Amino acid sequence: MNYAVPGGTNVAPYAVLVATNESHEADPDAAAVAPLAGGVPGSDGLTAYPLTVDATGRAAAIWEVVDASPQAIDTLTFSVYVTFSGLPSTNAFPGLPVNHVALSFAPEPGGGAFTNANGASALTSPVPRFSVLTPQQGSWFSISPCAISVFNAPNVPFTYAIGGPLPAGQSLIVETSPSGLAVTATPQVTTPANGNWLSASYKGLLGISINPAGLAASATPYTGTVVLSAPGVPSVTVPVSLTVYPAPSLTVTKTHVGGFTAGQVGATYSVTVSNAASSASTSGTVTVTE
């Protein structure tokens, strides 16, 4: 980690990383502190130093305070970055580190207990050690699987007039994190019960289509959903609605008197457009083209 030159007139609290193994935490500093420096910049502006776990699966980081204020209680903040390798396709996270951390003053006997091996006499190892009576420890981070993202999903307009053209199918962009997940698209019809007018497929894009055959005209849209699912990530539900309009209910009649001849002037030809007997009144412009 980068560090300021200790001593002088600087009284801001500052610590540097000096060891990554508990067995070396009591090593003397000799003439000068030699902090460990990493090569990857962290979000706090300092460089991150990689830690390697030991045979028990633990990693240690030992910091030494090089600047402190003698008049106040100092607070130091240490940034820790966690990486792991997961396998969402199997709904498992084998690379997930154990979510546990313990904090203590150093040097300490290791694990909080003194033994003959680490309890050398004061004449051969004069560095005092702390006895960790109540370690500060517990869970400190969590990792959750990423989700499937669907664009334009809230607005899937399907309208159909009985007897009219079928609505065009919809293609929606689907992004997954991590990419390359095996996504399954499952259509589910809500209304009418047991309906089968909705179908969906996924091949990089989510495709949605409908078949309104057998559906009655309704002012209330028929509803359904398409559920996108993949192993190890939360499912995403895409709402779909279908409005079925009634077919046009108009009648057209035409009448005329006598025959027509080329160049005739003043001939009468009548076209009458009206609603069917059971249809409500309508209004609008009617255009008749010769």
| pLDDT tens, position by position, 14-42 | 788 888 876 666 666 665 677 888 888 88
CA distance 222 to 244: 8
pLDDT for position 150: 72
pLDDT for position 88: 47
Residues spanned by the domain of 214: 148-245
pLDDT for position 86: 57
CA distance 245 to 265: 43
Which two three-digit tokens encode residue 150? 């669907």
CA distance 127 to 272: 110
CA distance 202 to 162: 28
Tell me the Ramachandran region of residue 116: left when phi exceeds 0, alpha when psi lies from -120 to 50, beta otherwise.
alpha
Q: 210-237 burial, b for 16+ CB within 10 Å, e for fewer?
A: bebeebeeeeeebbbbbebbbebbeebe
Q: Whole-angstrom distance between the N-terminal and C-terminal Cα of the chain?
A: 88
Does the structure show a pLDDT above 60 at 221? yes
Comparing 225 with 139, the larger pLDDT belongs to 225
Does the structure show a pLDDT above 80 at 196? yes
Q: What is the CA angle 153-157-161, rounded to 5?
A: 155
Q: Is residue 183 part of a domain?
A: yes
pLDDT tens digits, one per residue of 243-282: 998 876 666 777 776 677 777 777 777 777 666 555 556 6
Q: Is residue 222 part of a domain?
A: yes
> Hey, what long-range contacts does 157-160 have (CB within 8 A, 24 or more apart)?
157/241, 158/210, 158/240, 158/241, 158/242, 158/243, 159/242, 159/243, 159/245, 160/210, 160/212, 160/215, 160/242, 160/243, 160/244, 160/245
Q: Is residue 16 part of a domain?
A: no
CA distance 177 to 71: 50
Q: Is residue 105 part of a domain?
A: no
Question: In 3D, which of 79, 80, 113, 76 has the Cα closest to residue 97?
Answer: 80
Domain of 240, CATH number, reads: 2.60.40
Which two three-digit tokens encode residue 57? 């699966």
The β-bridge partners of 175 are 149
Q: Is residue 162 part of a domain?
A: yes
CA distance 166 to 188: 20
Q: Is residue 55 part of a domain?
A: no
Comparing 278 with 158, the larger pLDDT belongs to 158
pLDDT winner (highest mean) among 21-30, 133-142, 216-225: 216-225
Domain count, the chain: 1
pLDDT tens digits, one per residue of 78-130: 888 877 665 544 444 555 556 677 777 777 766 555 555 555 555 555 566 67
pLDDT for position 2: 38
The β-bridge partners of 84 are none
Q: Is residue 176 part of a domain?
A: yes
| Contact partners, residue 112, CB within 8 Å, separation at least 6 | 104, 131, 132, 133, 135
Comparing 67 with 277, the larger pLDDT belongs to 67
Q: Is residue 217 part of a domain?
A: yes
pTM: 0.45
